[in-house]
Structure 1
């Protein structure tokens, strides 16, 4: 461990607070958990946090600078992300209601593999996260304590642990509510349409994002 424990605790608390602030990732976990259940929300969370590993390594290796300095790279990545969200919105809008046995996992929803990949793609195609990491993580690093790249990786891992804690709590809460709502086919249809609108909103937000 390169950084002192008090620095890591402060960083962890800050990361938790940021995690609970309304944003694309926690809204994504919320909607997927409500639609498909707690376990699906947890799988999505694992995908999102896998994406955070990519962002952490990108910052540590200096790759994130490209997205801050290159307008073309930033625009390309956010366009891919927005297009993917629109694709998810279309799928959610077309999805019909399905009968879900009480206490069982979703039957006709996306597979856990697809949900995991959704989380990864959702996270890594948002260039603002890479830029946020590049601006946020170094504030807690100390050049006198060794290689900055190792410190940034250490901070990134702590941020991921905080993200897991936040998103798991969101998934658990939303899954409890969704389990009751999904018993009604008409309510499930409404939830699918609501998720579609959320995806469109996130796509527009990402498409309009500036460096």
Structure 2
């Protein structure tokens, strides 16, 4: 059984990751502004299916890894911490691009919108790292099946990501317009996100392994 405090901590990490600008957010915002919220929602459904691929692959792979090479978790932990630091740098570096500076995208059919959302997420390195390097730190052999824990955490991440991305998709134009009129808040958001990412990276790097 996963302890409630660990699950809540994972929820915080998943929320932070979905709020950190990346390929999914930039694509969904750009698509919603260029073609409307309906197109954004169809694209989001493709993104969610992409999450299912990441989740199942991670659950199967982590189960095998946990049984065969427990020490590999130490390497995964440092990979995750370094990636969080990389995300933090991209958030605060000079001339960092805001995800609300949408790209102009051509109108596409529903099937192509779904496929593009799916591919954007399946090929998204941020999500791959999250499932392979950050999620494992919340799994413990003392809490039951590694596969079951992976699926529970995976579905939790998907629900959080869907909720936040749906809200962003439905209000993309308004949010983009507001940030365009208030550019100072973009800088504030970037530095705040950078600080949180660095804090999470330090915690991830120096906290004892959950499976010990």
* Short-chain TM bin: 0.5 to 0.7
User: How far off its partner does 1:157 sit?
Assistant: 5.1
Gap change, CA 1:209 and 1:169, over 3 Å in 2? same
SS at match of 1:107: coil
Per the alignment, residue 179 of structure 2 pairs with 182
Q: For residue 20 of structure 2, what is the aligned residue in structure 1?
A: 31
Asked if the contact 1:85/1:199 (under 8 Å) is kept, the reply is: yes
Which of 58, 61, 64 pairs up with 1:58?
A: 61
Compared with structure 1, are the counterparts of its residues 169 and 20 closer, same or farther at alpha carbon in structure 2 (3 Å cutoff)? farther
Equivalent in 199, 208, 211 of residue 210 of structure 1: 208
Instruction: Measure, in 1, the Cα distance between the counterparts of 2:57 and 2:77.
Output: 16
Tell me, in whole angstroms, the C-alpha distance in 1 between the residues paired with 2:26 and 2:167.
10
Aligned to 1:143: none
**Root-mean-square deviation (Å):** 4.3
Determine the C-alpha separation between the residues in 2 that align with 1:36 and 1:198: 18
Structure 1: runs of 5+ lacking an equivalent:
1-10, 140-151
Tell me how far apart the structure 2 counterparts of residues 202 and 49 of structure 1 sit (CA, whole Å). 25
Q: Are 1:78 and 1:207, in contact at CA under 8 Å, matched by a contact in 2?
A: yes
TM-score, with structure 2 as normaliser? 0.58
| Count of aligned pairs | 172
Structure 2 gaps of 5+ residues are 30-43, 105-119
Contact 2:14–2:157, Cα closer than 8 Å, also in 1: no
Q: 1:78 to 1:45 in 2, by over 3 A?
A: farther
- Using the TM superposition, give the Cα deviation of residue 122 of structure 1 relative to its aligned residue in structure 2, in angstroms: 2.4
Cα pair 1:85 1:203 within 8 Å, conserved: yes
Shift of 1:114: 9.7
Partner of 1:116: 124
Contact 2:25–2:165 at 8 Å: present in 1 too? no
CA-CA distance at 1:66 after TM superposition? 4.9
Contact 1:98 1:185 in 2 (8 A): no
**Corresponding residue of 1:86:** 85
